[in-house]
């Protein structure tokens, strides 16, 4: 199972999944505003997604240890297709919350995908493997937001209507505001359906029958959810890294929840222009994690890159809300993007390398669950700060947290180096 083919297939699966997910990001805040949502409502919409991930990520991760990665990934793709269809059919803000909750349940499969990568990569290549997953995320965020932004453009929708009217011989339909936000969701659902079919045909199982049987009969398999969380957090070194991941995600969720609102206020950008900004972020992530993370970790080690990446992100956060033109914004957005692309795979690699093979799915599921809990706190916090204190508030609070995390990561990896397995 250490061949490249399974890694390539899971890369393509994650990439296509993230293209559909990325299409939603620049559109959802404006779609929600059409139904009367405030910044706090938009933060709560993001939080509802993450709350479901907090609940279900450990479940899917542990199930993937016991029944295999492939069934969990296929099930999540089917559920994602259904939730995207519901988004496109939404008629109220309540409907959006229902669709977002379902999306959170079925997008909690990232832990299974990470465990799949851990299954097919040796420890010395783990950071590179996790970086490949990050590259899939980055490429998904290149194509996804760009497609979503283009499809939500009124002129594009009018052209589609005109073409349909010409081919069908019917009158041109009137374009209403909500329609231009529905098209990306329908297209993303179609893409998710294609991804489900391709994964069913080509994605192999990464665990052997013996490994599945061992996981099913392990004493840990009968532990309660909270017992598994406690066990993961009590692992030497790993517990501190998981808590670090939680705080980092809280900080970064400030940006995720309010970025489109910030660019709308400061630069008057709409969903299409925000889509292009996410393409810029995704391109940086794809280059750094797809080509640079392997050589950099071999030269500097995961611990140093983790601290450096967090310091870069925290520094960039302070400047973002004061940039009133695109040329001013892009350098600091690049600084944040490079920092995130460096720190994320290194942190997951350190957690994975210090976890037993039979517990990869469960521990990585706990990690994603803690990240999801952070995304419940972060967007609500960011939306509330945005409404109450103004545009800069989420970015200052996020930047302070990230710099604290950089200091904690330096201390943690230094003090626990003896108990951590070699990088």
DSSP state letter for 321: G
What is the per-residue pLDDT for 417? 56
Domain that holds residue 282: 4-415
What is the per-residue pLDDT for 421? 47
- Cα separation, 34 vs 209, whole angstroms: 51
Q: Is the pLDDT of residue 397 over 60?
A: yes
Q: Which of 228-237, 294-303, 386-395 has the lowest mean pLDDT?
A: 228-237
Q: Which residues does 56 contact at the CB level (< 8 Å), separation at least 6? A: 104, 105, 108
**How many other β-carbons are positioned within 10 Å of the β-carbon of residue 367?**
28
Report if residue 420 sits inside a domain: no
User: Can you tell me the mean pLDDT for 353-367?
Assistant: 71
Report if residue 56 sits inside a domain: yes
Instruction: Confirm if 109 and 73 have CB atoms less than 8 A apart.
Output: yes
Q: Which of 212-226, 376-390, 399-413 has the lowest mean pLDDT?
A: 212-226
Report if residue 421 sits inside a domain: no
Of 200 and 213, the one with more pLDDT:
200
pLDDT band at 226; cut points 50, 70, 90: low
Of 194 and 130, the one with more pLDDT:
194
Q: Is the pLDDT of residue 385 over 80?
A: yes
State the DSSP string of 36-81.
T--HHHHHHHHHHHHHHHHHHHHHHHHHHHHH-HHHHHHHHHHHHH
As a three-state string, the secondary structure of 322-366 is: HCCCHHHHHHHHHHHHHHHHHHHHHHHHHHHHCCCHHHHHHHHHH
Q: Is the pLDDT of residue 207 over 50?
A: yes
Question: What pTM value is reported for the model?
Answer: 0.64
Which residue, 281, 288, 233, is CA-closest to 259? 281
What is the per-residue pLDDT for 24? 76
pLDDT digits (tens, 9 = 90+) for 141-174: 778 777 777 777 666 666 666 666 666 666 555 5
What is the per-residue pLDDT for 45? 84
Instruction: Confirm if 366 and 228 have CB atoms less than 8 A apart.
Output: yes
Tokens for 412, please give them. Answer: 């943690």
Which residue, 77, 114, 88, is CA-closest to 31? 88
Of 178 and 284, the one with more pLDDT:
284
Which residue, 104, 116, 114, 98, is CA-closest to 21? 104
Q: Is 91 exposed, middle or buried (0-12, 13-18, 19+ CB in 10 A)?
A: exposed
- Cα separation, 120 vs 101, whole angstroms: 31
Of 304 and 226, the one with more pLDDT:
304
- Cα separation, 118 vs 113, whole angstroms: 9
Of 418 and 71, the one with more pLDDT:
71
CATH number reported for the structural domain that contains residue 390 in this entry: 1.20.1250.20
Report if residue 279 sits inside a domain: yes
Average model confidence (pLDDT) for the chain? 79
Q: Which residues does 123 contact at the CB level (< 8 Å), separation at least 6? A: 353, 421
End-to-end distance of the chain based on CA atoms, in angstroms? Answer: 22
Helix (H) or strand (E) holding 17: helix 4-24
Total tally of structural domains belonging to the chain: 1
What is the per-residue pLDDT for 327? 92
Report if residue 318 sits inside a domain: yes
Report if residue 422 sits inside a domain: no
What is the per-residue pLDDT for 422? 44
Report if residue 374 sits inside a domain: yes
Which residue, 182, 191, 195, 193, is CA-closest to 88? 182
pLDDT digits (tens, 9 = 90+) for 292-345: 887 888 888 888 899 999 999 999 999 999 999 999 999 999 999 999 888 888
Report if residue 159 sits inside a domain: yes
CA distances from 362 to 156, 164, 232, 237, 329 (A): 44, 49, 9, 16, 39
pLDDT band at 404; cut points 50, 70, 90: very high
């Amino acid at each position: 199972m250490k061949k490249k083919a399974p890694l390539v297939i899971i890369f393509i699966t994650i990439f296509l999944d993230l293209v559909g997910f990325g299409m939603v990001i620049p559109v959802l805040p404006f779609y929600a505003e059409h139904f009367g949502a405030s910044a706090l409502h938009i933060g709560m919409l993001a939080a509802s997604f993450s709350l479901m991930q907090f609940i279900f990520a450990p479940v899917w991760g542990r199930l993937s240890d016991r029944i295999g990665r492939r069934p969990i990934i296929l099930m999540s793709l089917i559920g994602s297709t259904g939730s995207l269809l519901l988004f496109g059919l939404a008629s109220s803000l309540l409907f959006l919350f229902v669709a977002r909750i379902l999306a959170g349940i079925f997008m909690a499969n990232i832990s299974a995908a990470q465990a799949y990568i851990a299954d097919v990569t040796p420890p010395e290549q783990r950071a590179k493997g996790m970086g490949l997953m990050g590259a899939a995320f980055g490429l998904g965020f290149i194509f996804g937001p760009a497609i979503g932004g283009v499809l939500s453009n009124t002129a594009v929708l009018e052209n589609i209507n005109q073409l349909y009217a010409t081919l069908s011989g019917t009158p041109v339909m009137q374009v209403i505001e909500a329609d231009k936000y529905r098209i990306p969701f329908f297209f993303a659902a179609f893409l998710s359906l294609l991804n489900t079919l391709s994964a069913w045909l080509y994605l192999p199982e990464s665990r052997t029958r013996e490994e599945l049987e061992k996981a099913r009969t392990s004493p840990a398999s009968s532990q309660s959810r909270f017992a598994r969380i406690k066990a993961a957090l009590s692992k030497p070194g790993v517990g501190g890294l998981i808590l670090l991941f939680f705080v980092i995600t809280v900080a970064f969720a400030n940006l995720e929840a309010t970025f489109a609102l910030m660019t709308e206020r400061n630069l008057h950008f709409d969903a299409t222009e925000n889509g292009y900004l996410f393409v810029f972020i995704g391109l940086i992530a794809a280059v750094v994690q797809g080509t640079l993370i392997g050589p950099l970790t071999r030269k500097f080690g995961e611990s140093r890159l983790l601290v450096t990446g967090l310091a870069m992100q925290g520094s960039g956060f302070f400047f973002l809300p004061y940039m009133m033109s695109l040329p001013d914004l892009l350098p600091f957005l690049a600084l944040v993007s490079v920092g995130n692309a460096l720190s994320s795979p290194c942190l997951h690699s350190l957690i994975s390398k210090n976890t037993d093979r039979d517990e990869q799915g469960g521990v990585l599921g706990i990690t994603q669950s803690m990240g999801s809990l952070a995304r419940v706190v972060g967007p609500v916090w960011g939306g509330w700060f945005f409404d109450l204190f103004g545009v800069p508030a989420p970015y200052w609070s996020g930047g302070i947290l990230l710099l604290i995390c950089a200091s904690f990561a330096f201390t943690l990896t230094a003090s626990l180096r003896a108990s951590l397995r070699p990088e």
